[in-house]
A and B are shown apart, each in its own frame.
Chain A
Amino acid sequence: MRLLKTIPILAFLVFAYSGSVNAQCKAFAKKECLPELGAYTHDGNYHAAVLVEGEEAELYKTFYSDMEYRISIVGEDKLPSVEFKILDVNKNVLYSNKDKDYASTWDFRLESSQQLKIVVKVTSFNKPGDTPASGCVAIMFGFKLKK
């Protein structure tokens, strides 16, 4: 009986906690990731997640030949560098920000429309024994018509 009363309260607290973390992540995305799009129009989609050191996320999206795009991928300061790679459908790496000192944005355009895969990885501080750092990573896309 006690347990029956406790479970809904616990469920509420867990839900409220995750909601609070997600709200922080959204605020972070708006404050830190969105401005990186600069003169590009944000497409309105929102992709953000709390990731831990060493963890990866993948995103699949179609990009069109009429557009110029900017990808902005930003992690919270408490995280180590965030690496991202862009791959085509044949898994060929087209770009890696590791070669560009972990730049948070990449501008590109396409001669023909493509579905691309974006692999995002939080690198590691490599501090044995420490609890792995975790924090929000946001991914946003901006576009403008090709000149």
Chain B
Amino acid sequence: MNRKYGISSGILLVFILAISLFTGCKSGKKAPQEDEEINMPTDNTEILQDIKQAEKIFNALPSPLESAMLIKSAGAMFNENLLNPVSNVSTYVTNKSMALNLGIYTCDLSIASMYEQTQLLIDYMNAAKKMADGLGILKAIEQEDIDKLEENINNSEVIMDIVSQTFMNSNSYLEDNGQPATAAMVLVGGWIEGLYISTQLVDMKDFNGNKLVGRIIDQKLSIDILLDLLNSSKGNPAVEELIVQVTKLKAVFDKININTSPVRPEFDKNSNTTVLKSEVKTDMTPAVFTELSSTVTEIRNSFVK
């Protein structure tokens, strides 16, 4: 008797809480009766002060699509051998390896799209789909996305929209379903792949004044963002391993100096755009570049093995 009573009161409690949770979603609207019963403060100052403490911080890494665009715009040549072969897909079975390689394959497919490598693009989209499916990311990349890709294979705008949308789907699914550590690993995988491919494409005979070298130096600006992103999931064993690897990479980036003059915003009426004017001086030596390149290669190889 007691037991029966216990279960039904539990269900009743759950029911009441569920009702209050779901009705609570109508924020911003008054519930007059509750207003009379609950002693609300006369102004919102105290509430707002409490809320202010719950500040949200986002750390945004360059997306795989942006990394691919930077490589292409630096005038680098395409080299298929630098991509992670799609035949490796079946070897990724852990959550960590699937997350990292979802980022890696998304970067590879972004590069394939930039260089109009149509068959590769479809192969890499399928590889990314397998990683997303393995991670249980629902509807990130659907068969209809791949079909649409095939139908629009010569339309770069549609292709970039599909790539961007599928990345957003994975990224948002993980964030929204309480898996920020996995979401961070996807971003790390994509960023490391972009950096790895960039370093491999640098011709040492053409080091000074090489635009791609400039883009690689720029990645120093993102290394602290990357560490902050990982530190927000500290305690996760897979993330802890990545923090050790990225800290090693940061130590090499710290050998590069970037001196930027104060930024002066100026509005350009012709383009209706603000130009952030500033001058920059950097000093990466070929020796530091070689060290950076070997550190990135070591990290990337540990991701794709």
Contact = CB atoms under 8 A, between A and B. Distances in A.
A61 interface: yes
Contacts of B61: 45, 61
Contact of B218 (A18, A29, A62): A62
Given A41-B160, A143-B66, A111 B221 contact: no
Contacts of B260: 112, 114
Given A54-B51, A94-B263, A107-B274, A131 B56 contact: no
Nearest to A29: B172
Interface stretch (B37-45, B86-94, B237-245, B290-298): B37-45
Interface in B155-201: 157, 160-161, 163-168, 171-172, 175-178
B55 interface: yes
A124 B45 CA distance: 11
Interface in B265-289: 265, 271-280
Interface in A42-79: 42-49, 51-62, 64-68, 78-79
Contact of B70 (A10, A17, A66, A94): A66
Interface residues of B, number: 76
A contact face: mostly helix, strand, loop, or mixed: mixed
Interface string B17-33: 11001100101101000
Contacts, number: 223
A56 B260 CA distance: 28
B64 A44 contact: yes
B7 interface: yes
Interface stretch (B8-16, B117-125, B141-149, B202-210): B8-16
A58 B166 CA distance: 25
Nearest to B72: A145
Interface in B89-137: none
A143 B168 CA distance: 15
B25 A139 contact: no
B263 A114 contact: yes
Given A54-B44, A129-B40, A129-B42, A66 B280 contact: no
Given A94-B263, A143-B66, A132 B58 contact: no
B276 A109 contact: yes
Given A5-B7, A58-B58, A115 B274 contact: no
Contact of B55 (A56, A61, A92): A56
10 contacts: A3-B10, A43-B63, A46-B171, A47-B58, A51-B56, A55-B54, A56-B56, A59-B58, A60-B57, A61-B60
Given A41-B157, A59-B60, A62-B222, 9 more contacts: A2-B9, A43-B63, A46-B175, A58-B56, A92-B262, A94-B274, A108-B273, A111-B278, A114-B263
Interface of B: 6-7, 9-10, 13-14, 17-18, 21-22, 25, 27-28, 30, 40-44, 47-48, 51-52, 54-66, 69-70, 73-74, 157, 160-161, 163-168, 171-172, 175-178, 215, 218-219, 221-222, 225, 228, 260, 262-263, 265, 271-280
